[in-house]
Structure 1
């Protein structure tokens, strides 16, 4: 018997579940079909949300011949045959919708090979990818296509799919309410995964309704979608970073845990949380950076899983620490100023004069030794002669920087006082 996922493949675009934002009357694909003008497309979304099904149904709706290839198994010679067959069809008045699964796996030269056939109308390209097209596809291909973002299926959409499967199977899932919810969550937004799980449940001997505990003993939760070099990697580290910056320890721990569950290298996380301490906390809490480095060192000594707790402690500490990017902003401003002023030399009074010739040139002349000055502060100029004094660092009124601001204000007053005398 054909697998349930194949038997339940929608026969019309209106049967596709969970992508109304694209296929509805106000959606971009719905509008294209209504106008009879379908352009080349890139369907971007996670597995099991209907990319292949939509491409096939688009071909049916536009009377195009549907041809499917996979970038994993298709070489240059195969592509030439596909293009030649499409050219022959075109001369006979028949168009071709070429569906390329995993299109991001084609290299730049292979992607460039599609361009002339897209431009002359030999093919209408529909590519499917789970990776961010802006990173993985050539700009030339993207400029000739519209990117459609498919969403992972919500629990509500998965429930609709489950009901459809029950009607096809002619009986209900033998699960109580909480177990049914657990099954939907196991699918993790993947419709194909849900149907495969349901097919397993339907095959079990009838022993009455199962509880969540009984279900989870028989089924293994689907592994979370996570590619350490792909989109999920960057999306989740962004979520972790922004949760820390937003002072939400619970959300920060959640995203930290999600990355670990996905198989992320804890050393990568250790580097990133140390970066968070430097960029987003800075001198508002000078201990934050040391805390992260200590947690990193603890992980290196203990390894997994014990060392990961030290990193979790660092994440929690950072989320609750006062935040300041004042030094980060000051550093960028100082770099910009340094680039602008080029090769301006330091003022001669703060240069050392180890030779008599340098002394004759005025090196070190007039230098005021700050320890001998009142309040240990001379107020001398340390910027290049003729350069307007730069003011880069503006401490935040948070955490330890409150104290630093008091010190800075004190020196500003003393500098003004020295200038008047």
Structure 2
């Protein structure tokens, strides 16, 4: 801890009053003081290189909350001598943008360029985003947008083509610990926490530096007779709710991670991602639908009981509700993760659907058509049909394909799970069919 204290010389904030929140009082005064983003702000990083050259291009800062997007934008303007203007897409409209652009153009006439920082830029609609383009292209403003959402989904392609996307990383434990040490140096006293509680408060921040400093400020504001242990800290502070928007990228990232963990037969990881989603408030039936789909797509006939287990989990959850019914979801998840895998049925289904669309309305052979009327019998419907149960092997080997179409192979079972037995049975039928 002594090394962390020694490594940081707290700035003397000239514009931030002592009554300001700790996070504001600790806001870095130099780019090199920004924690956890050395891949961007370091000498070899994109931002470091731009500052060294004295020229900024427009950029989108994409990263989780509390990772330094606003701070970096402000320090960038200072580093290259640009006028800094900040607006929020949450509180600003077209009139605010027009005013910002007009003022930027006026300042450009006297040789002062503007860095326009737009927080939550993804909240502007497509037409509003298009409004930035001429001012970015002619250099009226250098645009720095900040977003917590995937720019690929939320920002116009035209805007993305004119701005570099820079990804800020979630703050790791070392970066968060450094923030705590800086807070302690500024307050000139240690946090009233045991080592275990200190680890717990860092973990509770979930990578959000601002949240961590707010929690630390709460601890600094009270007079505790002795340091809190982990249990005492949990009772004293509220744990941060995990970042998870059910209709945005976090939702799709976690369901993808769950599906691929199941496919990769990793029950531990699959259960972890299931827990991540359900504890964050995901709709359990949505997760169940995906697991049911997985049972058909990735397990199939290698273990056909997987689909039964998943549907039983759905019935159990609908009967019990949360939290009791979530155990059945976990059971289905673990069953699928540990079951033998095969996508042979899934592949066969796609191939059969494709050929069915290509071949149109070909007539099946007459011998396998029903003949409920005398006319249908007279024209040959059902004639010479071989009833399989009348054969010794229970298999006639008849042709069931339209006369204009050669027999196709859609389903090829694997040698995993029950499909190994299915493959043996199909090979036996093929042998019978080849015999005179």
Q: TM-score range by the shorter chain?
A: over 0.9
Q: CA deviation at 1:36?
A: 3.6
String of CA shifts for 1:86-105, please: whole Å, max 9, x gaps. Answer: 12222222211111111111
> 2:70 & 2:321 partners in 1: Cα distance?
42
TM-score with structure 1 length normalisation? 0.94
Q: Is 1:212–2:201 an aligned residue pair?
A: no
Structure 2 SS opposite 1:375: coil
Structure 2 SS opposite 1:125: strand
String of CA shifts for 1:132-180, please: whole Å, max 9, x gaps. Answer: 1111111111111111111110001111111111111111112121111
Counterparts of 1:258-277 in structure 2, within 5 Å, are 258-277=276-295
TM-score with structure 2 length normalisation? 0.91
8 A contact 2:362–2:404 mirrored in 1: no
Q: Is 1:138–2:161 an aligned residue pair?
A: no
Instruction: State the match for 2:427 in structure 1.
Output: 409
What is the number of equivalent residue pairs in this alignment?
418
Instruction: State the match for 2:122 in structure 1.
Output: 104
Task: Give the aligned CA root-mean-square deviation in angstroms.
Answer: 1.7
Instruction: State the match for 2:199 in structure 1.
Output: 181
Counterparts of 1:1-400 in structure 2, within 5 Å, are 1-355=19-373, 358=376, 362-400=380-418
User: Which runs of no fewer than 5 residues in structure 1 stay unpaired?
Assistant: none
> 1:91 & 1:43 partners in 2: Cα distance?
28
Q: CA deviation at 1:403?
A: 1.4
String of CA shifts for 1:280-302, please: whole Å, max 9, x gaps. Answer: 11111111111111111111111
User: Which runs of no fewer than 5 residues in structure 2 stay unpaired?
Assistant: 1-18
> 1:157 & 1:203 partners in 2: Cα distance?
23
Q: CA deviation at 1:61?
A: 1.7
Q: Say if 1:144 and 1:344 are closer, same or farther in 2 by CA, change over 3 A.
A: farther
Q: CA deviation at 1:18?
A: 0.4
Q: CA deviation at 1:367?
A: 3.3
> 2:61 & 2:117 partners in 1: Cα distance?
10
String of CA shifts for 1:19-73, please: whole Å, max 9, x gaps. Answer: 1112222222222333344221111111000011111111112222111111111
